[in-house]
Chain A
């Protein structure tokens, strides 16, 4: 009976770890859980008494912490092999649910890329649709700093800013913003990876 209890305790622990492995693919999650199970079985030398399982689990750490370590290192490793803008955005997205900093990084990255895309698309479309693409300052008496950027079939009834200058300015601003967002994403993922690494004692 006690062996079954130990086994059940281990299964519960692994199921809890699995819940936090959302940033990994299903294959990566299965591999991680199999390795943790193997580790506990080795550490308990197959006895699987509830006390032995509890001690092994305590040495590994809480489900959330174990998942955070595994997801962060795997995501950071994947980023080092492919650092395209999309990969960096995807990496911050995979880490978003692990911590407040991860969520913040994803939000900043998403906003940065969307704004960069807005500038670039507007600059590219402007020559073909001069009245429908641009940057407008909205005539909102309550808000002096309300702007609209992009391409629209129904441009807002507002003062257009920059005019044709949106083409060079949009291209440069979009490229610079995309680059800075990319740098921020890489920095954030690396910072999170460094944050989960623990020294030997």
Chain B
């Protein structure tokens, strides 16, 4: 799901959108790991390519260290063909359960909200 800003946001809307994006980032990062392990730059590229989410590069590792401390991801250093070691992250069992629950919660929330917002589509045209 790509979230695109369709109109210039005023200050309050901008704050709301910032909070929304902050809140959704954890789920987005965990979701990138669903198919398998990735290293930091791969995650950033996956978020950008698949979700249109541009994450400030310096923030991804602190976020991953928090998710690791919460037991949601595991990490290991792996020698790579690129000639330097890479730290790969993978979902733990707890992380897989959590991302499934978060995805269900997100979808239920988004579906309900979509129904509420449907009348706006007619008014905006």
- Which residues of A pack against B, CB within 8 Å? 32, 34-39, 41-43, 45-46, 59-61, 65-66, 69-70, 72-74, 76-78, 80-81, 196-201
Contact = CB atoms under 8 A, between A and B. Distances in A.
Given A35-B61, A41-B82, A198-B59, A73 B21 contact: no
Contacts of A61: 56-58
B61 A32 contact: yes
A32 B19 CA distance: 27
17 contacts: A35-B40, A37-B84, A38-B86, A38-B87, A39-B57, A43-B41, A60-B58, A61-B56, A61-B57, A69-B58, A73-B65, A81-B69, A198-B22, A198-B55, A199-B17, A199-B25, A200-B53
| Count class of interface residues, chain B | 35 or more
A41 B17 CA distance: 33
A76 B25 CA distance: 18
B63 interface: yes
A71 to B, nearest CB: 9
Interface of B: 17-22, 24-25, 28, 39-41, 47, 53-59, 61-63, 65-66, 68-70, 77, 82-87
Nearest to B3: A200
B22 A199 contact: yes
* Prevailing SS type, chain A contact patch: helix
